[in-house]
Amino acid sequence: MRVALFIPCYVNQFYPQVAIATLQLLEKLGVTVQYPVNQTCCGQPMANSGFEHLAQGCNTLFIKNFSGFDYIVCPSGSCTLHIKDHLHDEHQEGKAQEIRTRVYELTEFLTDVLHVTKLDAKFPYRVGMHQSCHGQRGLHLSQMTELVEKPFSKPLQLLQMVEGVELVELDRKDECCGFGGTFCVAEEAVSVKMGKDRVADHIKQGAEYITAADMSCLMHLEGILKRQKSSVQVKHIAEILNGEGV
């Protein structure tokens, strides 16, 4: 099984510990992982701003970096969804299509491909799970509160395998945090208000950590928590699953 690690650009630059945790976790589970060092970004920042045409360079580079692998694993629902939905290249559409079907978000790779049933990890804290929208509503990592369907959650299923984790129940289980890419600065007032409200819900339930399958939401929530001088911290789910609690 040839597995490539796809790391979001901002994680690469600002949260390398999340990428390291992802890599170590996969290796612990017996996967041989390759990291194409010339990777940059999936192109979502341009595309979501309406400049899909300026993401072509990113698309071409992505195909160059990630062709030929059996699986491409990424610790971000949002970047994974972007590749799944929008990776195209008119000169090599076959390769683009192959990548679109082989890209997996980390938690779904663990539950659906590796069929992980136990983890050697401990995290003795009260944890609030933030359901990032693109992972949840886009990739269906969890059942959504709007739909009348049976509940399930791939990230929660994994968190429950971690010793000591006490999951808190939120008032609003899957409301958006307000990050939204360039929305976070273009619509600063609403973005921040959404973030403050999410943070307040976790704090109200006594969470010591907020976790998510997307660091972008957590970066936004962390910015708000720090400004509020809160003791609540954020941790990407890969770090918890990798057993970095103690």
Partner 1 sequence: MKDHAQLSETFNEDEPRVNWHDETLWFVRQKRDKAAHGIPEWEQLRETASQIKNNVLSNLSEYLVQFEEQAKQNGITVHWAADAAEHNKIVYGILQQNGVQQMVKSKSMLTEECHLNEYLKEQGIDVTDTDLGERIVQLAEEPPSHIVLPCIHWKKEEIGVLFHKHLGTPEGNADPQLLTHAARLNLREFFLTRRVALTGVNFAIAETGEFVVCTNEGNADMGAHLADVHIACMGMEKIIPERKHLGVFLRLLARSATGQPVTTYSSHFKKPARNQEIHIVIVDNGRSKQLGRADFRNSLKCIRCAACFNTCPVYRRSGGHSYHTAIAGPIGSILAPNLDMKQYADLPFASTLCGSCSNVCPVKIDIHEQLYKWRQVLVQEGYAPAAKTAAMKGMGFTLSNPGAFNVAGKAGRWVVKNVPFLVNNRFNAWYKQRDMPEAPKESFTEWYKKNKAE
Computed over its alpha carbons, how large is the radius of gyration of the chain? 17
Q: Which helix (H) or strand (E) holds 24?
A: helix 16-28
- Of residues 206-235, those binding partner 1 (CB under 8 A): 219-220, 222-224, 226-227
Place of tokens 């990428």: 19
CA distances from 152 to 12, 44, 157, 207 (A): 30, 28, 8, 21
Backbone angles phi, psi at 123, to 5 degrees: -150, 85
Contact present, 63 and 99 (Cβ < 8 Å):
yes
Q: Which stretch binds partner 1 (CB under 8 A): 107-115, 151-159, 182-190, 206-214?
A: 182-190
Q: How far is the CB of 161 from partner 1 (least distance, A)?
A: 25
Number of residues counted as binding partner 1 (CB under 8 A): 74
Neighbouring C-alpha atoms within 13 Å toward the C-beta of 171: 10
Does residue 17 belong to the site contacting partner 1 (CB under 8 A)? Answer: yes
DSSP 186-244: HTHHHHHHHHHHHHHHHHHTT-SEEEES-HHHHHHHHHHHHHTT-S-EEEEHHHHHTT-
Q: Which of 138, 156, 157, 205 binds partner 1 (CB under 8 A)?
A: 138
Q: How far is the CB of 118 from partner 1 (least distance, A)?
A: 26
Distance of alpha carbon 212 from alpha carbon 75, whole angstroms? 10
Nearer to partner 1, 121 or 177 (CB): 177
Q: How far is the CB of 48 from partner 1 (least distance, A)?
A: 7
Does residue 23 belong to the site contacting partner 1 (CB under 8 A)? Answer: yes
Does residue 29 belong to the site contacting partner 1 (CB under 8 A)? Answer: no
Does residue 89 belong to the site contacting partner 1 (CB under 8 A)? Answer: no
Nearer to partner 1, 92 or 223 (CB): 223
- Of residues 50-69, those binding partner 1 (CB under 8 A): 50-58, 60-61
Q: How far is the CB of 37 from partner 1 (least distance, A)?
A: 6
- In 3D space, the residue among 43, 128, 34 whose CA is nearest the CA of residue 80 turns out to be 43
Nearer to partner 1, 208 or 222 (CB): 222
Does residue 16 belong to the site contacting partner 1 (CB under 8 A)? Answer: yes
